[in-house]
Structure 1
Amino acid sequence: MGDLLIEFGKITSEELNKVLAFGIEDNKIKVAMSDPLNILAIDDVKISSGFNVEIFIKSPIPIKNNSCIKTV
């Protein structure tokens, strides 16, 4: 899989720190977020990406160093 870059239109910078898109599989974008009940953010990801959204729960602490994330 190559790089994944999606521009989220209505998500605030505070919300963006809580959302991490990390893959696409079977016409679904995989998104880790600290608030999986944030329907507005989920809808924005779906509209911006054009994919159905598969939610994963992550810590509310922002990811500042993505050196631990590898592209396969």
Structure 2
Amino acid sequence: MPVLVAARVVQGVGAALLLPGTLATISRAFPDDAARARAIGVGSAGLYAAAAVLALAVLPGALLSVRRAGGER
């Protein structure tokens, strides 16, 4: 289990390091303020959509696990 936790920490640090580089790339590729705002908005919408899909994939299983742990009668 500690290896899985360590792997998730490494994954989180990698994501935290990746985001500023992505924003810098978008800022460089879209010098116009309106185009840059639109590009960041589209990227953010994609990230939120992916997070929602993952949450909807995990949530039913988590709810079933909690129900089973509570002792279904």
Fold in common (TM above 0.5): no
Structure number having the greater helix percentage: 2
Give the structure-2-normalised TM-score.
0.25
Query: Could you tell me the TM-score, scaled by structure 1's length?
Result: 0.25
Higher strand share: 1
Which of the pair has the greater relative contact order for Cα pairs under 8 Å at 6+ separation? 1
Task: Tell me which structure has the larger Cα radius of gyration.
Answer: 2
